Chain A
Amino acid sequence: MESIWQGFLEALRLLAIGDPEVVQVVLLSLQVSGTATAISVVIGVPLGLWLALHDFRGKPVLLSFVNFGMGLPPVVVGLFVSLLLWRYGPLGMFGLMYTPVAIVVAQAVIASPIIAGLSFAAIGSLEPKLRLQFLSLGATGLQTNWLLIKEARLGLMAAVMAGFGGVVSEVGASMMVGGNIRGETRVLTTATVMEVGRGNYELALALSFVLLMVAYSVVAVLTYSQNSRRQDAA
């Protein structure tokens, strides 16, 4: 019990003084996962929009793949990305293995289906005639899509948050393709695992604490956005 308390105090101290090691890991985590999320938004939102607005023969199959992708195990993604990025792998010439870019790639693979699936749900929950109404009011195809995205923005924000929350707290793929290199690919989760291995529970706790704060802010935004949507509906 005492060690938990001590760890907690040390965690607070490390955060309060802005321990450069901790700060660096936190910033790198946010940057890597933020970039991966941004890429996933570029891939996932249009895909979700397209799925929500089009009917075609293979749609159920494609949807089942997207839903399956929402639960892809990060370590499996890590392994596949490793196989691709290794020096002697098919993409080895780019020298991306054990770089932040490799983590971004793996995390984007993890987050894209999450964002696509939730975007599909967000756009799909809009009144289906809204799209026709926008077209009827004289909107071009692009304008219509943009208006739909704006109308579904709370749901899409939730999708983005879920994607970000998923990758920032993921450890398997980051460890495998990033290698937990100090100052370069050491992110919150891999650093936590390593500090536990070293027996530095204070530092591990401090990192976990930051991770929890990031995760909490994600959940808080989700909760508030759902609440305000419920109010709008009322």
Chain B
Amino acid sequence: MKAAVIDMAGVKVYREEKLVLDVPALQIASGELISVIGPNGAGKSTLLQTINLLLPYREGRLRLFGENGQENLLALRRRCAMVFQEPLFLNGTVFANVALPLRLRNLPGAVITERIMTVLDMFHCSHLVNRQALRLSGGEAKRVCLARAVVCEPELLLLDEPFAALDPATRKNLLVELRQAAEARAMTVVFVSHNLNDVLQFTERVIVMEKGTIVQEGHPGKVIRRPASRAIAELAGMDNILPCKLEKTVDGNQILLGQGRSTINYPFEMPDGAQHCCLPGDIFEIDDPDQLKDADQVRWTGMVRQVIPGIGVFQVVVEAEGLILNLRLAREQAAHLVIGQVLHFSFNPAESHLI
């Protein structure tokens, strides 16, 4: 295991006497690319600002690069760089803005110019060097912001939703460039987003935050299929989030859906207080009614309402058991479906996820 760049334990941050961040434990290793997702107001920005030592914390311990986060704030901060949601430029040229962190460190002019041109080149914005920073378009501004953060060669790069309000193509390009830059310089990157697509493209480990604390941590694939809460499920683009009731009977546990009109036998342990049942759209299989299948499968019959084409996977909206369900089906299965057609389908109840 590599040395931890960030090591937090029991850190609590208050704003106007209100607890806004509560991190019992968090370790991020050197060179790791990690994402933080969560709904608005979950404390993601607060977490980043705390890591950047911009917000004072009252309790707990925060070590950056193995050093105490209560001392030598400036020196520790100068080993990091942060990109905020907003561009936050000085009134001046792109050159002046990107030069700022270097000038603050009193580097000689020749070094500054050389580094700026390199980093602007890396983010494909050398042509902007003499433009007024406050007049850049959204995409240009983000590139320049990234360049300004990377120019001082930070060991730790903190990104606070840097791509909000950009079009998908630009986001994708920037993510690729950023990944390359991070790998080339062996930077540790903490990437805050509320867009799961970005997260999937960028990192292999994700931290899920809600209400100021970390509610889930792991591989993005797990967060998609097993989100920790309804808010996360929505954020992760869960296809079916169904209100449900849980019942424990002598035969085993049951999930009641659609005001009790349909039930799922659930032979597993049930979490307390769960109110929603998540069914990822890709767990459903179309059945041949003539062929009997595994008895453990849940079998439903419904009517096709809508067929939304896609590359590889089609989305099929089906009304069944008093529920509206979103199914993800392979093209060869879905392409011939017509609206109004009756559909038999099944799924393994172990794939359902209660929150």
Contacts and interface: CB of A to CB of B under 8 A. Distances in A.
Whether the complex brings A and B within 8 Å at their CB atoms is answered: yes
Contacts of A138: 74, 77-78, 101, 104-105, 152
Contacts of A222: none
A136 B86 contact: no
A2 interface: no
B134 interface: yes
A137 B104 contact: yes
A151 interface: yes
Contacts of B77: 135-136, 138
A143 B86 CA distance: 21
Nearest to A131: B54
A19 interface: no
Contact of B52 (A55, A136, A139): A136
A129 B84 contact: yes
A129 B49 CA distance: 11
Interface string B98-114: 00110011000000000
Contact of B84 (A133, A147, A150): A133
Interface residues of A, number: 17
Contacts of A127: 86, 88
Given A127-B86, A132-B84, A232-B134, A140 B74 contact: yes
A130 interface: yes
Interface string B30-61: 00000000000000000001001010000000
Contacts of B134: 232
B104 A136 contact: no
Interface string A107-147: 00000000000000000000101101101111110010001
B197 interface: no
**B interface bracket (residues with beta carbon within 8 Å of A):** 20 to 34
B250 to A, nearest CB: 59
A130 B88 contact: yes
Contacts of A140: 74, 104
A26 B271 CA distance: 84
B90 interface: yes
Given A135-B54, A137-B81, A137-B104, A129 B88 contact: yes
A232 B78 contact: no
A232 B91 contact: yes
Nearest to B160: A129
B214 to A, nearest CB: 22
A129 B52 CA distance: 13
B90 A129 contact: no
B120 interface: no
Nearest to A136: B82
Contacts of A143: 104
A156 to B, nearest CB: 13
Interface string A139-169: 1100100010011000000000000000000
Interface string B130-150: 000010000000000000100
Most chain A C-beta atoms within 10 Å of own C-beta, residue among B49, B86, B88, B100: B88
Most chain B C-beta atoms within 10 Å of own C-beta, residue among A132, A133, A143: A133
Interface in B60-108: 74, 77-78, 80-82, 84, 86, 88, 90-91, 100-101, 104-105
A136 B81 contact: yes
A143 B106 CA distance: 12
A150 B148 CA distance: 19
Contacts of B91: 151, 232
A139 B101 CA distance: 7
| 8 closest cross-chain pairs (CB), A and B | A133-B88, A136-B82, A137-B101, A138-B78, A132-B54, A139-B104, A138-B104, A138-B101
19 contacts: A55-B16, A132-B49, A132-B52, A133-B82, A133-B88, A135-B54, A136-B52, A136-B54, A136-B80, A136-B82, A137-B100, A137-B148, A138-B77, A138-B101, A138-B104, A138-B105, A143-B104, A151-B90, A232-B91
Given A151-B91, A232-B134, 6 more contacts: A127-B88, A129-B84, A132-B52, A136-B52, A138-B77, A150-B90
Interface of A: 55, 127, 129-130, 132-133, 135-140, 143, 147, 150-151, 232
